[in-house]
């Protein structure tokens, strides 16, 4: 399992549907995309209803890209994606992001 240049189970992609109906929709759509060979490799994203509570990441993980824009991983992997989003969604773009840390009262 991988996400960009990172590998390992902690980097897997996963969908957390609220119920079995949502899980079925997600799984069926993934199967449809795989059957159509939309991507070079099969989609390995899992879609399973949550069996445990979700907890936010520790504070030092929050807003990392905004706080560390020149960190090599961010500059190489994330900044180009953000720049593309800014182009594609120009009308919705805001220069000052909503930061998780501000929402958490940090």
Bridge partners, 47 (sequence order): 15
The predicted-structure confidence for 59-105, as pLDDT tens digits, reads as follows: 888 999 999 999 999 999 999 999 999 999 999 999 988 888 776 65
Smallest CA-to-CA distance from 45 within 25, 15, 20 is with 15
Contact 3, 12 (CB under 8 A): yes
Smallest CA-to-CA distance from 47 within 73, 77, 21 is with 21
The predicted-structure confidence for 20-51, as pLDDT tens digits, reads as follows: 999 999 999 999 999 999 999 999 898 988 88
Mean pLDDT score across all residues of the chain: 87
Contact 31, 23 (CB under 8 A): no
DSSP states of 71-103 as a string? SHHIIIIIHHHHHHHHHHTTTT--SSPPPHHHH
pLDDT of residue 40: 92
Q: Give me the phi and psi of 27, to 5 degrees please.
A: -65, -40
pLDDT of residue 3: 62
């Amino acid at each position: 399992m991988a996400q960009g240049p990172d590998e390992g189970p902690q980097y897997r992609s996963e969908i957390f549907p609220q119920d079995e109906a949502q899980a079925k929709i997600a799984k069926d759509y993934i199967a449809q995309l795989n059957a159509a060979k939309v991507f070079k490799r099969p989609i390995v994203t899992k879609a399973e209803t949550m069996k445990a509570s979700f907890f936010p990441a520790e504070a030092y993980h929050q807003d990392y890209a905004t706080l560390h824009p020149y960190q090599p991983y961010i500059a190489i992997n994330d900044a180009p994606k953000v720049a593309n989003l800014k182009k594609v969604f120009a009308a919705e773009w805001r220069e000052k992001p909503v930061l998780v840390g501000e929402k958490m009262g940090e």
